[in-house]
A and B are shown apart, each in its own frame.
Chain A
């Protein structure tokens, strides 16, 4: 009881700061979609009457979905492989996974141009080896954006997943083996379900983070892959359309919260 009260007194200032500095501005911003310059539904009407905005939102969700799936497909085996390594190798690999965090997102984005551009290392090698006679367009399309977002977001999936895998009690797997389960069954019926909450959490994290990407689609998409942040940037910074931007942001937030709800349901089922 005393511990709880003490903890509470520490948390309160932080909570107040969060509410004042973060939640209130968000509410004010969202409110401006119906209150600025006077109470009106005009901005929402415009949003629903103009299919462009909704389509860009849809496109953004599509990219986020693709990125989550790709991150999952690469990240899960990677984390699983890391779990099986010796302590020293594990440290080395974790460092490698963490390395991108220390490099600016801009530098990494431009590095992809050096690697995958028409005159880039990969295309020159492919042409040199006679595998292709014309450069392959890796960049300035959806593929380029997916490569960029996956590169940035993979650690967000791998690290928590790896931590969750390390926590799994080895005796559970041994028990299953003693009872005669084949390796495949041990993985799918014991190991995988135990990692599922962390896996799902990582996927949702990647999904939500992709929704807010700005630099990567602007550069690696070549302006051909419209995402919602880039459109919000135009509405806020180029045109004075803050109210419309607020309406779109509200929609984005609502969709994200709904997704979070779905995730919670899945996670709850996994735990039951």
Chain B
């Protein structure tokens, strides 16, 4: 049975209304809650969750972006308590924990539907999986793996890679390190491999919109890109082979007031519903945390979604990146200066 979007939303709302005891939120006088998210299509893909929540509780949700880590830190340090939810990357969540910037998630209040275990962190709700993968112009020779991507002789053309150190994982894979031996990363070996490719990297991108644009403009022929930015884009091909799978979390900034936090927990329940995750996945090709979701995704677009290709990918090792953040950042800047 296939439901239309409207029917789905109506079903979701009806269920929510039954379960939520919305009177509690109304009684506490919460009129709206504010959340800070990553912006763009990814931000728009939150609307399917927000609508049933607002219908059920009468609480409006205001979305704001961007979600830089510095913003979270300054909000908390300034005692700004009117932000209920903040979207962070997995490494940023570890930083936030270390700096005591976030409150635990009240999972008893959320009462989520089934979720992947890593998405159910005591301090964060993993709401959206995304991958960093290799993409190329359809008219360029197709690479199969990172060894091909780093082989500029047999796969000629300019590259673009992220202006962050995460690409060294790809360098190690290109250099023949097997996936299960990646961590702890051999940083020296990785930068040696990066040295091989740096003269062919025309652009080190800083915004997710850049790689598809650079490919489209023929400024580069090969790119490291976020999956959702290239999935379904005409003239661009990509593979999930050896991509990095990561998860974006929603966290509660320290000091959020009780009523707002209760409302936020209630909203997170919507985020756990596979039917709503399906709606979100139609807006951008990223996937929610429900194990039931992959089976529901539209068959013809199935290949576009990160979690469908779980077994092919490398899971982002949050702990290593958090523990080595300072060292790797210095190495990265030194590498960049030698360009």
Q: CA of A241 to CA of B73 in the docked complex: distance in angstroms? A: 11
Knowing A118-B218, A118-B219, A237-B68, say if A223 contacts B329 (CB, 8 Å).
Answer: no
Partner of B70, one of A223, A230, A231, A236: A236
Partner of A140, one of B203, B326, B330, B336: B203
Q: CA of A119 to CA of B219 in the docked complex: distance in angstroms? A: 7
Q: Is A55 an interface residue (CB 8 A)?
A: yes
Q: Is A73 an interface residue (CB 8 A)?
A: no
Q: Is A50 an interface residue (CB 8 A)?
A: yes
Q: Is B27 an interface residue (CB 8 A)?
A: no
Partner of B337, one of A139, A226, A237: A226
Q: Is B107 an interface residue (CB 8 A)?
A: no
Name B292-339 residues within 8 Å CB distance of A. 325-326, 329-330, 333-334, 336-337, 339
Is A239 a contact of B219 with CB atoms below 8 Å? no
A148 to chain B, nearest CB (A): 14
Residues of the A chain whose Cβ atoms lie less than 8 Å from the Cβ of B333: 52-53, 56, 226, 231
Q: CA of A241 to CA of B326 in the docked complex: distance in angstroms? A: 9
Identify the closest chain B residue to A224 (Cβ).
Answer: B339
Q: How large is the interface on B (under 10, 10 to 19, 20 to 34, 35 or more residues)?
A: 20 to 34
Q: CA of A222 to CA of B211 in the docked complex: distance in angstroms? A: 11
Residues of the B chain whose Cβ atoms lie less than 8 Å from the Cβ of A236: 70
A163 to chain B, nearest CB (A): 38
Residues of the A chain whose Cβ atoms lie less than 8 Å from the Cβ of B164: 238
Q: Is B152 an interface residue (CB 8 A)?
A: no
A20 to chain B, nearest CB (A): 16
B79 to chain A, nearest CB (A): 15
Knowing A223-B163, A223-B203, say if A113 contacts B217 (CB, 8 Å).
Answer: yes
Knowing A237-B68, A240-B73, A240-B95, say if A140 contacts B337 (CB, 8 Å).
Answer: no
Q: How large is the interface on A (under 10, 10 to 19, 20 to 34, 35 or more residues)?
A: 20 to 34
Which of B73, B164, B202 has most A Cβ within 10 Å? B202
Contact with B along A219-258 (1 / 0, CB 8 A): 0001110100011001011111110000000000000000
Knowing A118-B217, A223-B163, A226-B333, say if A237 contacts B70 (CB, 8 Å).
Answer: yes
Name B235-262 residues within 8 Å CB distance of A. none
Is A238 a contact of B69 with CB atoms below 8 Å? yes
Knowing A52-B330, A231-B333, A240-B73, say if A222 contacts B217 (CB, 8 Å).
Answer: no
Q: CA of A59 to CA of B163 in the docked complex: distance in angstroms? A: 18
Q: CA of A226 to CA of B203 in the docked complex: distance in angstroms? A: 12
Is A56 a contact of B99 with CB atoms below 8 Å? no
Q: Is B204 an interface residue (CB 8 A)?
A: yes
Is B218 a contact of A119 with CB atoms below 8 Å? yes
Q: Is A166 an interface residue (CB 8 A)?
A: no
Residues of the B chain whose Cβ atoms lie less than 8 Å from the Cβ of A56: 333, 337
Identify the closest chain B residue to A223 (Cβ).
Answer: B204
A5 to chain B, nearest CB (A): 38
Is A50 a contact of B337 with CB atoms below 8 Å? no
Q: CA of A139 to CA of B99 in the docked complex: distance in angstroms? A: 40
Is B204 a contact of A237 with CB atoms below 8 Å? no
Residues of the B chain whose Cβ atoms lie less than 8 Å from the Cβ of A222: 202-204
Q: Is A117 an interface residue (CB 8 A)?
A: yes
Contact with A along B35-71 (1 / 0, CB 8 A): 0000000000000000000000000000000001111
Residues of the A chain whose Cβ atoms lie less than 8 Å from the Cβ of B80: none
A228 to chain B, nearest CB (A): 12
A-B contact pairs, 9 of them (CB 8 A): A222-B203, A222-B204, A223-B163, A223-B206, A236-B70, A238-B68, A239-B326, A240-B95, A241-B326
Q: A55-B337, A137-B202 are in contact. List 16 more A-B contacts (CB 8 A).
A: A52-B334, A59-B337, A113-B217, A118-B217, A139-B219, A222-B203, A223-B204, A223-B205, A224-B339, A231-B333, A237-B68, A237-B69, A237-B70, A239-B69, A239-B325, A241-B326
